[in-house]
Structure 1
Amino acid sequence: MLIHPWDAPHDESEWQQWLATHDFGQLAVNGLPGEPPHVQPLHFVYEATGGPHGRVITHLARPNPLWPALEANPVVLLSVVDDYVYVPGPWQAAPDTPPEHGTPTSFYAAVQLRCTAHLVDDASEKADLLNRQVGHFQPEGGSARAAVGEAPYGRMLSGIRGLRLEVIDVRAKFKYGGKRTTEVQDRIAAELTARGGPGDAAAREHLARRRGATA
């Protein structure tokens, strides 16, 4: 992923705070020799503790075909992309050029976590991982806790394997017109407001937030 200086996060807290509320991504695992990579969509929980860049916890079904590849090579990549929009060329045109000469682009936020995967097969540890995930996704409660040998989830623990991903490197990008002039950024923000499509409000907030942090 190419990251220009104007698209880089201002500090580590920027991508950590964003990732805390964007908890669905794709886990890429190197395939066995002669096989393509495995790419697994999944929900996950990012925890800022547990290492210099934090850790990720999740789980998958035991029959998932990626396990042999993961056991052979535990280095994986978790990719998360969201808050994306298409930006038409005229919105980006410099003030002294015709609108039709503007260059269209995409705005988006992306975080890629390079991790070392640790498989969790102990039933008690799996129950703990599940409870932490449910606590994140259902903070209001409403579900029973997982516990070994107890209904309703105790008997289901054997059907899953837990994953604890130790983050060893991070690449993050917030592509929201950072190299554009204030006049052009104002125009893009106004056009995003007027269009009001999916993702437009989030993209406008990113643009304003990053410009304010730079100022």
Structure 2
Amino acid sequence: MFIQPWDAALDDAEWQTWIADGHDFGILSVNGPPGQAPIVVPTHFTVDGSTLLIHLARPNPAWKAIEADSNVTFTVTSDYAFIPGPWRAGTDTPSTHGVPTSYYAAVQFTCRATVVDEPGAKAELLRRQMAHFQPDGDHAPIAPDQQPYGRMLPGIRGLRLDVTEVRAKFKYDDHKPVEQRTDTALRLVERDTALDASTAAQQIRRRNRLGTWKP
């Protein structure tokens, strides 16, 4: 992932807060066999310290690739929007000369994967995930000897992704003038399609922290 200086995370707390703010679905990318494309799996995940927890169905083709090479990438992307060219034209530039772009936030984790197959360990991994996704505890006990999860555990495998590197990108035109970024955020709110509102919120948040970007 290419990151311009003005798109970089301002500190670790920025991307950590963004992930914690409900961004818990991403893409697992695994090296495929020689001569074949990478295997890509969309899935929810849970953060456990410096480790990401996920589980996949046992028939998933990713397992064979992970066992061959445990180096994987997990990417989370959201708060994205297409920005039309006229919105980005400078005050002394014809609107049709403005160049469109995409705004988005992305966090890319480089990880070393460990497969979790032991029933008790898989149950514990699922309990940690459920504590995040269903914190009210409105589910049956998750244990190898209790139903319904006990009979379902053999059908999945757990995965611990120990994070070795994090690269975060917040691409919101921070190198442009403050007035222009403010105008773009207002246009996004007015257009209000898909993720326009959350994209505008990210742009305003970055603007408030950065002001005028300086190298």
Shorter-chain TM-score tier: over 0.9
Match of 1:113 in 2: 109
Shift of 1:69: 1.1
Letter in 2 for 1:4: Q
Aligned residues: 210
Task: Say which SS state the counterpart of residue 210 (structure 1) adopts.
Answer: helix
Match of 1:38 in 2: 39
Match of 2:7 in 1: 7
Match of 2:19 in 1: 19
Task: Say which SS state the counterpart of residue 59 (structure 1) adopts.
Answer: strand
Relative to the length of structure 1, the TM-score reads: 0.94
Shift of 1:119: 0.6
Supply the distance in 1 between the matched residues of 2:99 and 2:117 (Cα, whole angstroms).
51
Shift of 1:35: 2.6
Aligned partner of 1:72 among 68, 71, 74:
68
The one-character-per-residue Cα deviations of 1:93-144 (angstroms, maximum 9, x if unpaired) are: 1111111111111000111100000111111110011011111111223111
Task: Say which SS state the counterpart of residue 68 (structure 1) adopts.
Answer: helix
Letter in 2 for 1:12: D
Match of 2:139 in 1: 143
Letter in 1 for 2:25: F
Matches of residues 177-192 of structure 1 in structure 2 within 5 Å?
177-192=173-188
Q: Which runs of 5+ in 2 are unaligned?
A: none
Runs of 4+ in 1 over 4 A off after TM superposition: none
C-alpha contact (below 8 Å) 2:85/2:95 kept by paired residues: yes
The one-character-per-residue Cα deviations of 1:11-31 (angstroms, maximum 9, x if unpaired) are: 011111112221111111101
Supply the distance in 2 between the matched residues of 1:168 and 1:122 (Cα, whole angstroms).
24
Letter in 2 for 1:14: E
The one-character-per-residue Cα deviations of 1:150-171 (angstroms, maximum 9, x if unpaired) are: 1111111111110000000111
Match of 1:82 in 2: 78
Task: Say which SS state the counterpart of residue 158 (structure 2) adopts.
Answer: strand
Give the share of equivalent positions with the same residue, in percent. Answer: 51
Query: Cα RMSD over matched residues?
Result: 1.1
Supply the distance in 2 between the matched residues of 1:85 and 1:145 (Cα, whole angstroms).
41
Supply the distance in 2 between the matched residues of 1:193 and 1:69 (Cα, whole angstroms).
43
C-alpha contact (below 8 Å) 2:26/2:44 kept by paired residues: yes
The one-character-per-residue Cα deviations of 1:166-186 (angstroms, maximum 9, x if unpaired) are: 000111100011111012112
Supply the distance in 2 between the matched residues of 1:150 and 1:141 (Cα, whole angstroms).
16
